[in-house]
């Protein structure tokens, strides 16, 4: 309830969560749809919201040559997935692991090294909306599964 003293969301402007970049990625998701060259796949599911994700990756010699996502969910989920694929594409597995850690720190603690965040910075607003952290995290946790070679479906519950 905006404007109530002492309320957790008091300083928040909802447009910090729904920045133009987020709305744009929601409207026009990048790397969207199945990937034919994929040699790894993983699924993610958010039971609370019903967000559903399938991640496809083409990984050779510890490098992410290409990565796509497919699925349905809210704007935060879709934008976060889209941005994740953009960031992970072309990275080594080790670099992607580091990205995951940065993202995780950003949405759970709200603090991260702003310099190194780059495009990830648009997700900073999520931290202030605890109910939405799961929406933003699903793609990243599913990526982590792919990087770790796990076949288990990610669920955020």
Partner 1 sequence: MIQHLHPETIRKDFAIFNAHPDLVYLDSAATSQTPIQVTDAVLNYYESFNANVHRTIYSIGNEATQAYEAARKKIADFIGAEDAASVIFTKSATEAINLVAHAWGRKNLSAGDEILITEMEHHSNIVPWQLTAKETGGDLKYIPISQEGELEDWENCISEKTKLVAITHQSNVFGTINPIKELAAKAHAAGALVLVDAAQSVPHSKVNVQELGCDFFAFSGHKMLGPTGVGVLYGKTDLLEKMDPFLGGGEMIKTVTMETSTWNEIPHKFEAGTPNIAQAIGLGAAADYLNDIGMENVYAHEQELLQYTLNALGDLPGITIHGNPKKRGGVVSFNVDGIHPHDAAQFLDDDGIAVRAGHHCAQPIMQKLGVAATCRASAYLYNTKSDIDKLHDSLEKVKSVFN
Could you list the residues that contact partner 1 (CB under 8 A)? Answer: 1-4, 14, 17-18, 23, 26, 48-52, 72-77, 129, 132, 135
Side by side, the strands of the sheet bearing 51-60 are: 63-72, 51-60, 40-46, 154-155
Nearer to partner 1, 14 or 114 (CB): 14
Task: Compare residues 72 and 116 and give the one whose CB is closer to partner 1.
Answer: 72
Closer to partner 1 by CB, 110 or 149: give it. 110
CB of 126 to partner 1, least distance (A): 11
CB of 74 to partner 1, least distance (A): 4
End-to-end CA distance of the chain: 26
Contacts with 32 (C-beta within 8 Å, 6 or more apart), sequence order:
68, 69, 70, 82
Give start and end residues of each alpha helix (H) in 110-150.
114-117, 133-148
Measured from the CB of residue 46, what is the shortest distance to partner 1 in angstroms?
10
């Amino acid at each position: 309830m905006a404007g109530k003293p002492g309320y957790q969301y008091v300083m928040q402007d909802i447009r910090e969560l729904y920045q133009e970049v987020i709305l744009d990625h929601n409207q026009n998701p990048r790397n969207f749809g199945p990937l034919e060259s994929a040699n790894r796949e993983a699924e993610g599911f958010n039971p609370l919201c019903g967000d559903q994700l399938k991640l496809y990756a083409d990984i050779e010699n510890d490098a992410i040559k290409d990565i796509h996502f497919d699925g349905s969910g809210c704007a935060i989920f879709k934008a976060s997935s889209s941005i994740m694929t953009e960031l992970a594409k072309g990275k080594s597995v080790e670099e992607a692991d580091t990205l995951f850690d940065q993202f995780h720190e950003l949405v759970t603690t709200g603090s991260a090294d702003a310099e190194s965040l780059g495009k990830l910075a648009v997700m900073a607003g999520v931290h202030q909306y605890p109910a939405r952290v799961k929406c933003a995290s699903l793609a990243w946790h599913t990526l982590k599964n792919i990087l770790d070679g796990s076949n288990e479906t990610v669920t955020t519950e």
